[in-house]
C-alpha cells in the first residue's frame, strides 16, 4: 500500500494557487483512475483506489501547509505504513515551470509542508517536485506562491497534471524513471537549442625557419687578398 500526499492550503480562495499544485496533482490522479469519493479523515480528505496492482491512498491535509505532518502521521499510524510508502507531491520554486523531479530524502528548502512532514516522520519519504518557477526576488516569493496560476500558464499546468496522472501507476510500482518518462510524453516538447558552433581554429603560425646559411663573402680588397696569399706562402 502507498500513501500519496498532495500539499496545499484548504479553502476555495487557495484552490488555484501555485502553492496548491500538490492538491491538484492528487485530484488529477483520483479523477483519471476512478478513485472512491473523497471523505473527511485524518484532519484531511482521503480517497482510496488502485494504481496498477498497488492499493493507493490519496491524502490532502486540511490543516494548512505548516501542519501537514499531523495528517500524514495519523494516516501512516492507522495503516501501519513507513516513510518508504509515502509519496509527497509539492510545488518547487527551484524548478522551472512544468519541470518535475523525483527525489527521496533531503531537506525542505524552506517549504513549510515538507518541514512539517519531515518533523513528524523523518526525511526519508519520496518527493515529487513540481516546478512552478521563481519570481526572481525572494521578497516576492510569498505573494507569488499564494497567487493563482496566470491564464497563460493554463496550458502547461493542464498538461503537467495529465502527465502526473498518467504516470502515477509507475510511481506506485516504485518506478520513478518510468513515471518521468510517461510524464514527459504529455508535456509539450521544447525545441532543442542548436549546438553552438565552435569557432574555427586558426592555423598555428608556422615556426620561423632558420634562413639558409649564406656563403661566406670575401670582403677583402684585392691588395689585402694578395698580401694574405704572400703571408700563407701561396
At residue 61, does pLDDT exceed 70? Answer: yes
Whole-angstrom Cα distance, residue 86 to residue 4?
Answer: 6
| Catalytic residue (one of 14, 19, 33, 134) | 19
Least confident of 37-41, 59-63, 185-189, 209-213: 209-213
| Distance in Å from the first CA to the final CA of the chain | 117
Residue 211 and residue 92: Cα distance in Å, rounded? 70
Contact 100, 87 (CB under 8 A): no
What band does 215 get if pLDDT is binned at 50, 70 and 90? very low
Would you say residue 131 has pLDDT above 50? Answer: yes
The answer to which of 94-103, 128-137, 191-200, 221-230 has the lowest mean pLDDT is 191-200
Selecting from 3.40.50.1470, 3.40.50.300, 3.90.1150.10, 1.10.3720.10, what CATH number does the domain 2-184 have?
Answer: 3.40.50.1470
Which pTM value belongs to this model? 0.79
* Cβ atoms within 10 Å of 67's Cβ, excluding its own: 15
Query: Where do the domains of the chain lie?
Result: 2-184
Q: Indicate the average pLDDT of the chain.
A: 86
Mind spelling out the 3-state secondary structure of the chain? CEEEEECCCCCHHHCCEHHHHHHHHHHHHHHHCCCCCCEEECCEEEEEEEECCEEEEEEEECCCHHHHHHHHHHHHHHHCCCHHHEEEEEEECCCCCCCEEEEECCCCCCCHHHHHHHHHHCCCCEEEEEECCCCCCHHHHHHHHCCECCHHHHHHHHHHHHHHHHHHHHHHCCCHHHHHHHHHCCCCCCCCCCCCCCCCCCCCCCCCCCCCCCCCCCCCCHHHHHHHHHHCCC
Q: What is the arithmetic mean of pLDDT over 153-170?
A: 96
- For 97, the grid coordinates are 515551470
* Whole-number pLDDT of residue 234: 46
88-97, 137-146, 215-224: the lowest-pLDDT one: 215-224
Confidence band for 222, pLDDT divided at 50, 70 and 90? low
User: Does residue 221 register a pLDDT over 70?
Assistant: no
Q: Where does the pLDDT of residue 188 fall: very low under 50, low under 70, confident under 90, or very high at 90 and above?
A: confident
| Cα–Cα dist 168/51, whole Å | 7
The answer to whether residue 14 is catalytic is no
Give the pLDDT confidence score for residue 217 in this predicted structure.
Answer: 53
Give the separation between CA 154 and CA 160, rounded to whole angstroms. Answer: 10
pLDDT at 108: 84
Alpha carbons 38 and 145: distance in angstroms, whole number = 25
pLDDT band at 107 (very low <50, low <70, confident <90, very high): confident
Amino acid at each position: 500500500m502507498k500513501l500519496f500526499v498532495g500539499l496545499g492550503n484548504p479553502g476555495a480562495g487557495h484552490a488555484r494557487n501555485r502553492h496548491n499544485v500538490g492538491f491538484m496533482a492528487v485530484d488529477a490522479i483520483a479523477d483519471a483512475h476512478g478513485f472512491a469519493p473523497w471523505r473527511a479523515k485524518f484532519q484531511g480528505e482521503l480517497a482510496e483506489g488502485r494504481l496498477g496492482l498497488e492499493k493507493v491512498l490519496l491524502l490532502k491535509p486540511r490543516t494548512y501547509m505548516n501542519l501537514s505532518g499531523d495528517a500524514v502521521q495519523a494516516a501512516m499510524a492507522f495503516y501501519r505504513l513507513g516513510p518508504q510508502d509515502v509519496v509527497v507531491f509539492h510545488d518547487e520554486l527551484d524548478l522551472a515551470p512544468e519541470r518535475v523531479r523525483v527525489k527521496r530524502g533531503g531537506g525542505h528548502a524552506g517549504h513549510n509542508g515538507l518541514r512539517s512532514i519531515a518533523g513528524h516522520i523523518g526525511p526519508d519519504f519520496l518527493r515529487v517536485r513540481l516546478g512552478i518557477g521563481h519570481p526572481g526576488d525572494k521578497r516576492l516569493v510569498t505573494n507569488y506562491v499564494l497567487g493563482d496560476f496566470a491564464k497563460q500558464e493554463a496550458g502547461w499546468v493542464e498538461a503537467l497534471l495529465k502527465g502526473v496522472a498518467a504516470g502515477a501507476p509507475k510511481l506506485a510500482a516504485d518506478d520513478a524513471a518510468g513515471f518521468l518518462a510517461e510524464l514527459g510524453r504529455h508535456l509539450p516538447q521544447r525545441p532543442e537549442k542548436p549546438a553552438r558552433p565552435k569557432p574555427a581554429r586558426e592555423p598555428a603560425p608556422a615556426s620561423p625557419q632558420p634562413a639558409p646559411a649564406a656563403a661566406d663573402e670575401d670582403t677583402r680588397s684585392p691588395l689585402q687578398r694578395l698580401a694574405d696569399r704572400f703571408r700563407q706562402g701561396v
